[in-house]
Chain A
């Protein structure tokens, strides 16, 4: 249950970029290879932002699928399970190219 600390970190980043302006929504990207549960994140967001300037701001979570590139056959394939395997040839010699994201993408400022 580290979603609460993650929300506190999101809030820190958002407040820094907001520079005192009111925030309507915060968009985050969460890769499928992170053990972060989007629905839990949204619930924790309300707790983490209550009584802060971000209270009432929406948290928009975009789930990013996991994609690997095979060093053998060169294919780029999406993972159905969190195990690094090429979906085309089955090789474990793969590089993770997407799915480890954990970032604040943007802010939507509220009408002042």
Chain B
């Protein structure tokens, strides 16, 4: 009875053995096994809610692999400095910026995309809004729509600048090679504990605006301890997009050179 099988009530599923008291069968009345139809028909599904998104993410990832482009999904809260950081990075890497693409996700406006023009990078704008409000994150389908605006074969690096939000973007894979976030010291020490999904999902946290540390009560050691509690051993780089501190290390990481 361990294989795919059909029940008297018409439901069918593959699975080890029946444990009809288990969680999957939960509260829903499951027809008995006597051969009489009792209770409503149940259909086993056991499919990821985000399966559709994940399939599109896999298609994106396959396109990225074919073109040989490294893709970084860059997330943060609004105002942490993603766009300023990217502008500083593009300015710093000079001619190499021509091999960089940016997918700019914003609920409304092209303001950020406009700021990133003029460095030689390819910029694709994806507005998630449709009139009143909009999606709070980029999903794989929105990124896929943005890819049509880019020549992937001409790129070494594609940065997906996600919508500013510490909750939702963490849930949606877009086909990226790596996830990173920008965190500003003005946001306080406790955010990793309040938004653990986002902080746990990334492999790099770029701690921005360190030029402001002398003006703030921000306790960097406490922030790093909170971060380590949520994502043990995660890499951090301390930067100031304004003064340029730490930017060489960010450029190296983005271009996969260390």
Do B26 and A103 have beta carbons less than 8 Å apart?
no
Query: CB within 8 Å of A: which of B32-59?
Result: 40-53
Interface size on B, residues (CB 8 A): 39
Do A2 and B137 have beta carbons less than 8 Å apart?
yes
Residues 121-139 of chain B: 1 if any A CB is under 8 Å from the residue's CB, otherwise 0? 0000000000000011101
Do A105 and B229 have beta carbons less than 8 Å apart?
no
Do A104 and B47 have beta carbons less than 8 Å apart?
yes
Residue in B26, B168, B196 whose beta carbon sits within 8 Å of that of A62 in the complex: B26
Residue in A9, A24, A109 whose beta carbon sits within 8 Å of that of B49 in the complex: A9
Residue in A6, A33, A103 whose beta carbon sits within 8 Å of that of B47 in the complex: A103
Query: Which residues on A sit within 8 Å (CB–CB) of B40?
Result: 24, 108-111
Complex CA distance for A47 and B12, rounded to whole angstroms: 30
B100 contacts the other chain (CB 8 A)? no
Do B229 and A83 have beta carbons less than 8 Å apart?
yes
Query: CB within 8 Å of A: which of B180-197?
Result: 193, 195-197
Known: A35-B197, A83-B230, A110-B40. Is A64-B28 also a contact (CB below 8 A)? Answer: no
Residue in A2, A12, A108 whose beta carbon sits within 8 Å of that of B167 in the complex: A2
- Who on chain B is nearest to A12 by CB? B52
- Who on chain A is nearest to B39 by CB? A108
Do A5 and B139 have beta carbons less than 8 Å apart?
yes
Do A60 and B28 have beta carbons less than 8 Å apart?
yes
Do A33 and B197 have beta carbons less than 8 Å apart?
yes
A18 contacts the other chain (CB 8 A)? yes
B216 contacts the other chain (CB 8 A)? no
Query: CB within 8 Å of B: which of A16-58?
Result: 17-18, 21, 24-25, 27-29, 33-36
CB distance from B202 to the nearest CB of A (A): 14
Complex CA distance for A70 and B80, rounded to whole angstroms: 35
Query: Which residues on A sit within 8 Å (CB–CB) of B151?
Result: none
Query: Which residues on A sit within 8 Å (CB–CB) of B94?
Result: none
Do B197 and A34 have beta carbons less than 8 Å apart?
yes
Complex CA distance for A108 and B197, rounded to whole angstroms: 31
Q: Which residues of A contact B (CB under 8 A)?
A: 1-2, 5-6, 9-10, 12-14, 17-18, 21, 24-25, 27-29, 33-36, 60, 62, 64, 82-85, 92-93, 102-111
What are 11 A-B pairs with beta-carbon distances under 8 A? A2-B171, A13-B47, A13-B52, A17-B47, A60-B26, A82-B196, A83-B230, A104-B46, A104-B48, A107-B43, A109-B40
